Each structure stands twice: as C-alpha cells, then as structure tokens.
Amino acid sequence: MKCPWLFVFTVLCMRCEAGGNKPRRGRGSMWWGIAKAGEPNNLSPISPGVLYMDPAVHATLRRKQRRLARENPGVLAAVAKGASMAVTECQHQFKYRRWNCSTRNFLRGKNLFGKIVDRGCRETAFIYAITSAGVTHAVARACAEGSIESCTCDYSHVDRAPHRSRAAAAANVRVWKWGGCSDNIGFGFRFSREFVDTGERGKTLREKMNLHNNEAGRAHVQTEMRQECKCHGMSGSCTVKTCWMRLPSFRSVGDALKDRFDGASRVMMPNTDLEVPAQSNDAVPHRVPRKDRYKFKLRPHNPDHKYPGNKDLVYLESSPGFCEKNPRLGIPGTHGRACNDTSIGVDGCDLMCCGRGYKTETIFVVERCNCTFHWCCEVKCKTCRTEKVVHTCL
C-alpha cells in the first residue's frame, strides 16, 4: 500500500527538483542512490528482479533509465555494483583528504554525495567520472560473465581488429583474427552513455562539464583494457595464438582518475560554441542532436593552458573550503576526522584540521594479524589486540 505513494512522491519531488529549484546541477545524477540499495538497511539481497522491484531504487531512476533496466534484465544489479564500487573507490582515493567523498542517506530525493555536486568543482568532476567508469566497468564485466541477458559474447565482431591488421598486413601474414568476448567493453561503454548521461543534454556549461567528465571516466576504463596473448606450437613455435582481453582492475582506474583530478583543468564556454547548433538541424533549435552531444570543445579558463583532452577532468569553479561545516553546501567539515601527526601532506594534522589543532588518544584495536594464504583463495588470520595512537581533529 505504501510503496506506490512513496514512489509517486519521490518521482514528483525529483521532477520539481530537476525542473526548477536546482538549475545548476546536471539532471542525471539521482541514480547514484542505487549504490546504497541492497545494503543491510534494505532487507532484500541483490538479485536483479528484487532490485528492480525495490521502490527506493525505482525512485532514483529516470524514465529512460527504467526503460533501459527493463530492456536489459540483469543490468540493474551491475549498475548497482558499479555505483557502489565507485563510491568505495572514491572513498579510498580521498581517504586522507579534507573532502573524503562521504555519502548521505539517499532517500527522499537527496543526492548521494550531498549538495557538493551542485557546484561545478573538482570534487564533482571526480564523482561524475568515477561513477561513470564504475558503471562501464561493472556492466562490461557482468556482460562477460553472462549475467546480462541482452549482452552476449558477440562473435560476429571477431573480424574487427584494426590495430592488429595493419601490422599483420605489413608483415605479409594472413590477418589473424581474434575472438572471444571482445565487445563486452563496447557494450559497457554504450550502456554507460545511455544510462549515465541521461538528462545531460549538453546545453548548459554545467551539463557539458558533466558529459565531459562522464566520458573521461569511460575513456579510462576503455584504454586501460589490455590484450593478453600466448603462443602455442611445437617446441615454442607460434602455430596457434590465443588472446583475451583483460579489464583493468578498478583500483587502477581509480588511481588514474585521481591523477587527473590533481591535474584537472578549469574550463569555460568556448566562443565558437554557437557553431554547433548552427550546423545542426535548424528546425529544432533547442535540442542538441544525440550524436553531436559529445562533440563540443571546452576552452581552458586560463588561455595559456592547453585544451582539456578526452581523459582529463574539467571543472568550472574553485572548490569550497572543506574545513568548516557548511550546511548550505552539505559539507560536514573536518571536525573529528582522524589525521596523521607526522605527515606534512593533506592527511597531516596541520592541514587536515585546518590549524584548529587535534587531540591524541590511545585506544586498543582488535585487528587481524598473521594472515596466511591457504590454497585456494582463502586467507586465514588471527585476531590481535594492539594499542593504537589516534589523532582526531578538534
């Protein structure tokens, strides 16, 4: 009885929010809430059907996203996994920074990462990139594992091997084709574009920023993918070749994106922006054609800097200070955060606590120790009680 009402309410709320109150934020970010679905506070374990029925999940999705989930059974579980992977990775990468990628309760139309995403700052750029990368990665993997029905290993693509064929042709060897589930990443990429970029029409500068960062996240997953091959034949010759694609570990994607975060470029609207609608169909002036959605170039804020590449993160405004609590921006402040008294970096107590000082406590921690690896795939540990000195910001 309650569920439909909740559903209607949240959808309405989302509508009005997207329509007017928050004009600056891109509109496609509500689905992040799916990362928290299926966690202990929700009773159901993750299984595609249950997840889809979950009204809380349902409410976070836009109409097009719901259609995509319906058309690709099993994909929602992958998206949820990708989103929670992204959150975990984000929190890992920003563990020792003032902004630590903390998440909020996503219910009631609130954004998972809080109001920080209303601002077009570096942190927001990272959030968009890592979540989009997470979906690409998780969907590609789920596709390879066969848990998405609409995505099968498409063996009709085996003949496509542009990067190999040229070398092979030059070497006068018959073009060697490689098979296997080569196109999983393609499915993940396309799906991520459809799903994640819903609502980012690319009209405003902020939407362009979101699109660019989403694309950057996907590009990192795609380019870090490696092909591994091996030869087989009599006494080490190469009569039979077998190759397979290996998805990068999500940690390496996170590391690469963190590097881009540190070197992110601040951008502004290009002067030539007017050309894009002029080239497209004049009859529909307000709508950027789908194909051209990704064809834009952002201009660096500082004209001396180079134009951002497709793997760079871009932002529009400088980050707010994360030191003090700021309810308007949803910043919790660094009060009570743990810090490292010997470090001179951002995780050091001086910077982390913004000069407010810190208190030092000695606590006993029960943790795993003497871990040994057992064949196969099991790690057994003892528990030890150790003394730890913890510094927390005032």
Residue 88 sits in the site that holds other proteins (CB under 8 A): yes
Distance CA 298, CA 286 (A): 20
Among 1, 171, 278, 283, binds other proteins (CB under 8 A): 171
Q: Closer CB to other proteins, residue 6 or residue 168?
A: 168
Contact call for residue 174 and other proteins (CB under 8 A): yes
Is 366 a binder of other proteins (CB under 8 A)? yes
Residue 145 · residue 187 · CB < 8 Å = no
**Those residues with Cβ within 8 angstroms of residue 334's Cβ, 6 or more apart along the chain or in another chain:** 98, 322, 323, 352, 353, 354, 393
144 touches other proteins (CB under 8 A)? yes
Is 368 among the residues that bind other proteins (CB under 8 A)? yes
Indicate whether 387 belongs to the interface with other proteins (CB under 8 A). Answer: no
Among residues 3 and 381, whose Cβ is nearest to other proteins?
381
Residue span 90-129 as binding mask against other proteins, x where in contact by CB under 8 A, dash where not: ----------------------------------------
Give dist(CA 369, CA 389) in Å, integer: 18
- For residues 130 and 254, the answer to whether their CB atoms sit within 8 Å is yes
Select the residue interacting with other proteins from 243, 269, 276, 329 (CB under 8 A): 243
Residues 181-210: x/- map of binding to other proteins (CB under 8 A)? xx----------------------------
Among 32, 178, 261, 296, binds other proteins (CB under 8 A): 178
Contact between 244 and other proteins by CB under 8 A: the answer reads yes
To 10 degrees, what angle do helices 122-145 and 205-223 make? 40
The partner residues of 393 in beta bridges, in order of sequence, read 358
- The amino acid sitting at 377 is C
Q: Does 236 bind other proteins (CB under 8 A)?
A: yes
Selected binder of other proteins within 63, 64, 105, 155 (CB under 8 A): 155
75-93 and 250-262 helices cross at what angle (nearest 10)? 50
43 makes contact with other proteins (CB under 8 A): no
- Rounded Cα distance between 112 and 345, Å, is 28
One-letter amino acid for residue 350 of the chain:
D
Burial class (CB in 10 A: 0-12, 13-18, 19+), 126: buried
> In the complex, what is the shortest distance from the CB of residue 180 to other proteins, in angstroms, rounded to a whole number?
2
Closest approach, Cβ 222 to other proteins, in A, equals 16
Q: How many helices (H) and strands (E) does the chain have?
A: 12, 8
Choice from 3, 8, 384, 390 touching other proteins (CB under 8 A): 390
Residue where the block lists tokens 């630590």: 100
Cα-to-chain-centroid distance, residue 7: 26
Count of Cβ atoms closer than 10 Å to residue 184 Cβ: 24
Binding status of residue 172 toward other proteins by CB under 8 A: yes
Q: How far apart are CA 48 and CA 33, in angstroms?
A: 16
Among 62, 141, 193, 266, binds other proteins (CB under 8 A): 141
Q: How far is CA 343 from the centre of its chain?
A: 29
Q: Residue 47 CB, nearest distance to other proteins (Å)?
A: 17
Backbone angles phi, psi at 106, to 5 degrees: -85, -10
Selected from 63, 64, 230, 325, the binder of other proteins by CB under 8 A is 230
Among the residue ranges 26-34, 50-58, 106-114, 179-187, the one whose residues contact other proteins (CB under 8 A) = 179-187
Using CB under 8 A, list all residues that contact other proteins: 88, 141, 144-145, 153, 155, 171-174, 178-182, 228-247, 249, 363-368, 376-379, 381, 390
